[in-house]
Chain A
């Protein structure tokens, strides 16, 4: 829901970073996270938005440079996609 809400509010992209697969403290937590991310990608695709605006990455807590590299990659990815098409269509009524 948070991922979808971010896009709904105009974010150009969102990425989720989880632990390396197989090393999650909650065993299958990061696999579940990936499933949820894929679901959000599917929901976006369904309404004609580019699924690439939402991505999932995996790394360990000691991999600062990799984290930075992923951030850079995501930024480039978003630049390529252009701004969120929901921006500039006027702020609609929010559900309550």
Chain B
């Protein structure tokens, strides 16, 4: 799941400076589950903002709406008429949702209310930990299910650095060494040979936004174009 953290109120206030009527839009999927930008968080932020602006002697009118997913066109469509009533939009979705919203309403300022933090797992109520950097070249099959990109402070791909010390990382005594974990896990599984299966480094350079089209879901427009060309 994508995990986010709400921005400090001062930062949000600064972005909304001068705005008198703003629609706050929550997202009902990842950010709702990680308690950062769902329906409840929209209500909390609106209450806090409304009080803050009233105390400043500069009241603001806030609308609230939470759609199923801000990264899906079909759910954003429901907002088309509503957005017209407001001078700006505050989005509590992840960075993808904010951008999709800004793309749909290019004449309207769209402000982010959360900082998108990582792809992670739920360790307890309200407690999340990072596990994936979505690097597009997953090697978890060779590393015993421990991601060297995410779990190693240096994102090393092919073994530990000199800073590994009794299973811990040199950056912090509370941070386990990812490559030590990989070694222990593979040893337990009798697959230590995997550690020697070196892989080319992921292509971090010159990255452009990635696109995924699942097999069997090629864009219908492309199909139409192909037909036309024939």
Q: Which residues of A pack against B, CB within 8 Å?
A: 1, 4-5, 7-8, 32, 43, 46-49, 85-86, 89-90, 92-96
Cβ contact within 8 Å between A1 and B44: yes
Is B46 an interface position by the 8 A CB rule? yes
Interface members, chain B 57-94 (any A CB < 8 Å)? 57, 59-64
Cβ contact within 8 Å between B44 and A4: yes
A46-B9, A47-B9, A89-B57 known; A95 vs B51 contact (CB < 8 Å)? no
| B interface size (C-beta, 8 A) | 24
Cβ contact within 8 Å between A96 and B43: no
A86-B51, A94-B50 known; A46 vs B8 contact (CB < 8 Å)? yes
Complex alpha-carbon distance, A27 and B51, angstroms: 34
28 contacting pairs across A/B (C-beta < 8 A): A1-B44, A4-B48, A5-B47, A7-B51, A8-B47, A8-B50, A8-B51, A32-B125, A43-B48, A46-B10, A47-B48, A48-B55, A49-B51, A86-B51, A86-B54, A89-B55, A89-B57, A89-B59, A92-B60, A93-B50, A93-B59, A93-B60, A93-B61, A93-B62, A94-B50, A95-B24, A95-B63, A95-B64
List the A side residues contacting B185 at CB < 8 Å: none
List the A side residues contacting B60 at CB < 8 Å: 92-93
Is B40 an interface position by the 8 A CB rule? yes
Main secondary structure of the interface of B (DSSP, over half): helix
Complex alpha-carbon distance, A41 and B97, angstroms: 30
A46-B9, A46-B48, A49-B51 known; A95 vs B43 contact (CB < 8 Å)? yes
Q: Indicate which residue in A5, A32, A86, A94 contacts B55 across the interface (CB closer than 8 Å).
A: A86
Cβ contact within 8 Å between B43 and A1: yes
- Least CB distance, B8 to chain A, in whole angstroms: 7
- Least CB distance, B20 to chain A, in whole angstroms: 10
Cβ contact within 8 Å between A96 and B9: no
- Least CB distance, A85 to chain B, in whole angstroms: 6
Q: A4-B44, A93-B50, A93-B61 are in contact. List 9 more A-B contacts (CB 8 A).
A: A1-B44, A43-B44, A46-B8, A46-B48, A85-B55, A86-B54, A92-B53, A92-B61, A95-B50
Complex alpha-carbon distance, A96 and B62, angstroms: 8
Q: Indicate which residue in B8, B44, B54, B64 contacts A96 across the interface (CB closer than 8 Å).
A: B64
A46, A85, A90: most-surrounded residue (chain B CB, <10 A): A46
Is B52 an interface position by the 8 A CB rule? yes
- Least CB distance, B110 to chain A, in whole angstroms: 18
